[in-house]
Amino acid sequence: MKAIILAGGFGTRLRPLTLHTPKPVVPIFDRPFLNYQIDLLKGVPQIDEIVLSLNYRSDSIESVIGNGLNKGLSISYATEPSPLGTGGAIKFCAQDVTETFIVFNGDVLTHIDLNAVINLHHARKARATIVLTPVENPNAYGLVQTDSENNVVNFIEKPDSTELPCNTINAGIYVMEPETLERIPLNTKYSIERSYFPSLVKNDEPFVAYIDDGYWLDIGTTDKYVQAHRDILSGKYPTSLQGQSDFSEPVIHPSATIDPTATLEAPCFIGENVQVGANTHIGANSVIGFSSNIGHDVCVKSSILWPHCSLAASSSVHDAILGHSTHIEEYASIHSGVVLGDQSVITAYSKLEP
């Protein structure tokens, strides 16, 4: 069984972080994001191959993820000649598929039971199955409405706030039958959400929903990207970091060098080969990427530093994201929602706030 991960987007909502790093491989702690999805797919015994549908910076993704041999299953790549939309990308990747296959949006962090989704699909003899997730604020999303037997009956693009028939949205996970792809033109931009799914409803084809109220997060904005880290550190999204699953104490890689006078407030994460200087404070919900150098008398609070960052003496970073190899000079301060792209330099004594 094949799984297709749609990983060709430009990641515009995460800029400037995605100007050099494609969204599917932005670091979540010490791992590229796609590895979390690959781990989930590895839990499905039927899946023997993952196909990554790529477009933007495809070489970068392939160099990070590789062929999958060290992950226990085959990973191959299909690079679109031009952006084909979600439906066009699926058609491009699945031209030779002859059995049921699964599709994943490349920006979804979830713990869903994929085996249960596939079992429902087969039990209902569905042409397609869509995973839905309930949300607290339905007004902000397009909604997917189902009947009492979880058949999909309607897609509501912009719901009227006075009349909300449901609170379930498309979770970006699908199980599909290959013959249903005949309606999608090859090498043509085509939306699975706006064209393919509505055609199933219109034609009254077996199209069912699996409604999952477990953890689900679209990491595609900087706010959600930060939330993913905090949800992991708080245990809301259960996983281990460097073999540690209890984050009541700081997670510190064995190769990190921490000055004895530095203070670390849990939960926080200190990556491989990180150096933390004297009298420095690393606050809760801080993530320090590998090979970063934090000088003396520095204060880092609720911030995410990508690998190879350097913070000079007496600088401070609060509630910010710093891209690869960012350098903060002495006494500079960065606060409250600032996002810096790769190789940014903030000069001494500068103050940077939104």
DSSP string, 79-141: E-SS--HHHHHHHHH-TT--S-EEEEETTEEE---HHHHHHHHHHTT-SEEEEEEE-S-GGGS
Pairing of strands 31-32, 27-28: antiparallel
Residues 75 and 163 in one domain: yes
d(CA 323, CA 26): 10
Q: Are residues 329 and 254 in the same domain?
A: yes
Residues 185 and 249 in one domain: no
Q: Does the pLDDT at position 17 exceed 70?
A: yes
pLDDT in tens, 200-233: 999 999 999 999 999 999 998 999 999 999 999 9
The CA dihedral of 184, 187, 191, 195, to the nearest 10 degrees, is -30
Asked, for residue 233, whether it belongs to a domain, the answer is no
Q: If you search the block for the tokens 């296959």, which residue do you land on?
A: 101
Number of domains in the chain: 2
| d(C-alpha 283, C-alpha 317), whole Å | 10
Rounded distance between C-alpha atoms, residue 110 and residue 93, angstroms:
23
pLDDT digits (tens, 9 = 90+) for 296-319: 999 999 999 999 999 999 999 999
pLDDT-based confidence at residue 145 (cuts at 50, 70, 90):
confident
Range of the domain at 142: 2-222
Is the domain of 202 the same as that of 272? no
Encode pLDDT of 89-110 as tens digits.
999 998 888 999 999 998 899 9
> What span, in angstroms and rounded, lies between the C-alpha atoms of 80 and 58?
9
Residues 147-185 have pLDDT tens digits of: 989 999 988 876 666 667 788 888 999 999 999 999 998
Q: What CATH number is given to the structural domain containing 99?
A: 3.90.550.10
Identify the three-state secondary structure at position 245: coil
Q: Is the pLDDT of residue 140 over 80?
A: no
Does residue 287 contact residue 305 with C-beta atoms inside 8 Å?
yes
Residues 59 and 146 in one domain: yes
Residue 193 corresponds to which tokens in the numbers above?
């959400």
CA distance 10 to 83: 10
Write down which residue in 176, 191, 222 finishes a domain: 222
108: CB partners within 8 A, 6+ apart: 37, 171, 172, 173, 216, 217, 218, 219
pTM of the model: 0.90
Q: Is residue 160 part of a domain?
A: yes
